[in-house]
């Protein structure tokens, strides 16, 4: 086996090892990269040291456009927290239908333009929306919302028929 063949085999083995921390949920782009690497490892097609940019570099302009959320089901209600950096309270549109929550928001472009040429521009403006399937049917009329420092917090009561009940095993 030549030295170059050994190097390609080593690179292929390293590429097939998952590179995520425990509990880390892969983005669709990371998952696509992982699946592609399992079929065609990077080193197999390009045995030289030159590499394509990582997916994280290619997708940087799209990151943050879909708010990250936490959904917690409690006995009487559902708690939803969403990160909405750069959004003003007046630019939020929140709606609930049955067991689906939709968060829409708009960010506005800075009025001041910076002098010089941009080397990197990742702060984007525009509209985005996210719909989240909730674990139970909720009463949207009684929902309570607060928004502070870019964090939206919603408490949405469950419908009586959808409330969680503990069942004891005999």
Q: How large is the average pLDDT for residues 75-94?
A: 92
* Out of 23-37, 46-60, 83-97, 119-133, least confident range: 46-60
Q: How large is the average pLDDT for residues 119-147?
A: 86
Domains of the chain plus CATH, in order, are: 3-62 (no CATH), 69-109+124-161 (2.60.40.790)
pTM of this prediction exceeds 0.75: no
Whole-number pLDDT of residue 168: 86
Three-state secondary structure of 111-138: CCCCCCCCCCCCCCCEEEEEEEECCCCE
Max Cα-Cα span within the chain: 73
Using 50, 70 and 90 to split pLDDT, how confident is the model at 4? low
User: Is the pLDDT score of 3 beyond 80?
Assistant: no
Q: What is the mean pLDDT of the chain?
A: 76
Highest mean pLDDT among 94-108, 109-123, 153-167: 94-108
DSSP 11-67: HHHHHTS----TTPPPPHHHHHHHHHHHHS-HHHH--SS--PPPHHHHTGGGTTSS-
Using 50, 70 and 90 to split pLDDT, how confident is the model at 17? very low
Instruction: Identify the residue whose tokens are 């010089």.
Output: 116
State pLDDT tens for residues 56-72: 444 444 444 678 899 99
Whole-number pLDDT of residue 64: 47
């Amino acid at each position: 086996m030549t030295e170059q063949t050994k190097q390609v085999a080593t690179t292929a083995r390293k590429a097939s090892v998952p590179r995520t921390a425990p509990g880390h949920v892969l983005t669709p782009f990371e998952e696509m990269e992982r699946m592609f690497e399992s079929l065609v490892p990077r080193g197999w097609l390009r045995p030289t040291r030159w590499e394509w940019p990582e997916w994280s570099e290619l997708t940087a302009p799209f990151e943050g456009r879909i708010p990250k959320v936490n959904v917690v089901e409690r006995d009487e209600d559902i708690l939803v927290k969403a990160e909405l950096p750069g959004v003003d309270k007046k630019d939020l549109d929140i709606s609930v239908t049955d067991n689906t929550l939709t968060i829409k928001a708009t960010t506005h472009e800075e009025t001041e333009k910076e002098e010089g040429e941009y080397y990197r521009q990742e702060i984007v403006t525009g509209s985005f929306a996210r719909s989240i399937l909730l674990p139970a049917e909720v009463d949207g009329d009684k929902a309570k919302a607060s928004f502070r420092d870019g964090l939206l917090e919603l408490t949405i009561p469950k419908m009586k028929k959808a409330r969680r009940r503990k069942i004891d095993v005999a």
